[in-house]
Amino acid sequence: MMDADRIFDAIRDRSGDTEFYLPLPAGYKLGSAKYVVVLGTVMSGLGKGIFSSSLAKCLQDKGLTVAPIKLEGYLNIDSGTLNPFRHGEVFVLDDGTECDMDLGTYERALDLDLTRLNFTTSGQIYRRVLDRERTGGYLGRDVQMIPHVTGEVKNHVRELAVATQADVVFIEIGGTVGDVENAYYIEAMRQLAFEEGQRGVCFVALTYVMEPSILGEQKSKAAQLGVRRLMECGIQPHIIACRAQNPVTRKVREKIALFSNVPPDRVFSMHDCESVYLIPDLLRGAGYDKAVIEWLSLEAAVDEQVEQQARQAWSGYAARLRDATRQITIGIMGKYTAVRDAYASIIKALEHAGVHLGCKVQLRWVDTSEMTDENAAAALQGVDGIIIPGAFGTRGAEGKIACLKHARTTGLPCLGICYGFQMAVIEFARNVCGMTDANSTEIDSECRYQVINVLPEQKKIEGLGGTMRLGGQDIVIKPGTLASRMFGTRTRMRFRHRYEVDPRYLGRFEAAGLVFSGKSPRAEIMNILELPVDVHPYYVGTQAHPELISRPLRPQPLFLGLVHAALRRAYDEYDEVLVYAAEANSTSAPHTEQVG
């Protein structure tokens, strides 16, 4: 294998006929970082992001610095215009990047705030290549998939390594081996291993072991052929993870090992778990982390004391998850309810809050498209709280307003998120303030009371997405409110919306009892609303997306409040009062105290 010095010698000779094109970020030296590349075979939807983030957490727990990146094959520049029915939720990073939902999986597992460097698409890669070509960056060369497009992929992952100073970069390639749009990503990874030298890259193939009910046994042929397809691309996997409903038998793992040249002790089972947060312990128990450490020669970097503390904290969460005895039901009132991935972060945020409060949160999915004032009560019978999630467009809007009216008038705990926040304002305007024609201009541009509107400064920005308020924004909290108990005087959340509460109506809302307890520090932009706790046990809305920043060991306060209020509604004997971290003047996780 050609070593790093010989490659550098080749690319320094720009006037020669060398075929080596190796753009490197400033400060990067070949071999300075290690890489784990996770690829899928057989079929999509196996959970590469969950697997990769769990394995990355195992290494992070050992004291190593890890940085994940998702390489997507589609030509969209980002995920912002993707339909949730096709691709699940759009996850928004603090810097405003609209990306794949797997980035949320990484943030939650690793407790990291990621950036645009942690995500790229074919659209981004091609745009960078074409921009460079237009400015003469290729010195007159004919620009080709190899080495220029593949070179841009390698440059991007190395930029991430430099920016994060990561010991290990985890690279997840979307889709499966054999997808046309992923071929150049796979080729780039083959080149990466060639350039980084021996033990610089660990390839992990995630495959699928079928277990047809008609046969009653596990069949490995599809897995064998999938891994063989990867080897045809010039990549020899070092570890194989076998997804299956039940633990993969030794016989099947040995057969896969024989056909893939991977030792049997590096062919692992990755079977179904009750929760994704149990997977890190499953991987550790099977020896995945040890196999990666050994292949990348990172034994000297492992900090056993750090690992012990991290595993203890995570095991405590897993134990509380398994041992929870109480149960509540939260209704998700949306229009994408047929696709659970459209609300992936909300589901996880509820789980985080439930575990911390010692309960299991069951979900009831309610499509609001046919919801009215007349049938809302029947549809919500038996739920202990509801969430009105984010959305765009008109479908299901009136149903959400009907649900909010029912929750407000009956004391049902309620959390409105983004679009749900806007619908709460409209419902209050119509049914409390007497503005019967109140609406959002997104729904009805001719309505009399345009209580939700695009603000004038936003209308000046042109282009789809241009008027979107994206990413992390600071929020100033009003003293003496429920929000101040949760956050103190200031907090930060992530946003993805275009419409706002029109400030012309704020006086009427507040006079009627609606409290805007959080707003932007630089403009009259309302970010959090609530009803006083002596009026309603928990009626809160936020223009932000708080689900995006919830973590297993640091549940988001707005979800904690909802789950706690639902517990008190479900269990009459539940007399504990939630003490938030801000209220206790502490950074520790919120807890509960006995009344009296």
pLDDT at 509 over 50: yes
Q: How far, in Å, CA of 252 to CA of 229, rounded?
A: 19
Give yes or no for residue 593 having a pLDDT over 80. Answer: no
pLDDT tens column, 16-68: 566 778 889 999 999 999 999 999 998 888 889 999 999 999 999 999 999 99
SS (H, E, C) 348-370: HHHHHHHHHCCEEEEEEEEEHHH
At 258-285, the pLDDT tens digits run: 999 999 999 999 888 888 899 999 999 9
Contact 155, 56 (CB under 8 A): no
DSSP string, 255-312: HHHHHHT--GGGEEEEE--S-GGGHHHHHHHHTHHHHHHHHTT-GGG--HHHHHHHHH
Q: Tell me the pLDDT tens digit for each residue of 287-299.
A: 999 999 999 999 9
Please determine, for residue 13, whether its predicted confidence score (pLDDT) is greater than 60: no
Q: Which residue ranges make up each domain of the chain?
A: 35-316, 325-594
Residues 529-541: pLDDT tens digits? 999 999 999 999 9
Q: What is the mean pLDDT of residues 528-557?
A: 96
Radius of gyration of the chain (CA): 26
Q: Which amino acid is at 411?
A: G
CB 556 within 8 A of CB 549: yes
What is d(CA 114, CA 364) in angstroms, rounded to the nearest whole number? 31
Region label for 455, one of left (φ > 0), alpha (ψ between -120 and 50) or beta (otherwise): beta
Tell me what pLDDT residue 585 has. 61
Catalytic residue, candidates 356, 406, 545, 564: 545
Residue 338 pLDDT greater than 80, yes or no? no
The pLDDT confidence band at residue 342, using thresholds 50, 70 and 90, is: confident
Smallest CA-to-CA distance from 544 within 500, 581, 590 is with 500
In this prediction, residues 191-216 reach a mean pLDDT of: 93
Q: Which residues pair with 518 in a beta bridge?
A: 477, 528
Residue type, 293: I
Q: What pLDDT is attached to residue 86? A: 75
- pLDDT-derived band at 247 (thresholds 50, 70, 90) equals very high
- Provide CATH code, domain 35-316: 3.40.50.300
- d(CA 56, CA 67) in angstroms, rounded, equals 8
Instruction: Give the model's pLDDT for residue 56.
Output: 97
Checking if the pLDDT of 503 tops 50, the result is yes
pLDDT over 70 at 340, yes or no:
yes
CA-wise closest residue to 569 among 418, 427, 380, 352 = 380
Q: What local confidence, expressed as pLDDT, does residue 595 receive?
A: 45
Q: Identify the pLDDT of residue 59.
A: 97
Element spanning 332, H or E: strand 326-334
Catalytic residue among 359, 418, 433, 442: 418
The 10s digit of each residue's pLDDT in 408-429 is 999 999 999 999 999 999 999 9
Looking at residue 119, what is its pLDDT? 97
Q: Which of 425, 423, 414 lies closest to 514, judged by CA?
A: 425
Which pair of tokens denotes residue 294?
């050994």
- Quick one: pLDDT band at residue 337, thresholds 50, 70, 90? low
Model pLDDT, residue 400: 94
Looking at residue 579, what is its pLDDT? Answer: 85
- pLDDT given at position 1: 42
pLDDT of residue 8: 58
**Model confidence at 3, in pLDDT bands (50, 70, 90)?**
low
202 as an active site residue: the answer is no
Instruction: Provide the Cα torsion 246, 247, 248, 251; round to 10°.
Output: -120
Cα–Cα distance, 487 to 492 (Å, whole number): 9
Tell me the pLDDT band of 465, cut-offs 50, 70 and 90.
Answer: very low
Query: Looking at residue 17, what is its pLDDT?
Result: 60
Residue type, 309: Q
The pLDDT assigned to 464 comes to: 46
Catalytic one among 152, 195, 351, 547?
547
Answer for the pair 197, 5: CB distance below 8 angstroms, yes or no.
no
pLDDT of residue 9: 58
Q: Is 545 a catalytic residue?
A: yes
Q: How many CB atoms lie within 10 A of CB 338?
A: 11
Residue of 336 and 62 predicted with greater confidence:
62
Q: Is 321 helix (H, G, I), strand (E, B) or coil?
A: helix
**Strand order through the sheet with 449-453:** 438-440, 449-453, 500-501
Contact 484, 478 (CB under 8 A): yes
Q: Which homologous superfamily is 325-594 in?
A: Class I glutamine amidotransferase (GATase) domain (3.40.50.880)
Mean pLDDT confidence for 361-366: 94
Is pLDDT of 435 > 50? yes
- Decide if 35-316 and 325-594 have a common fold: yes
> Residue 18: what pLDDT?
66
Predicted pLDDT of residue 460:
55
Is 72 assigned a catalytic role? no
pLDDT of residue 294: 96
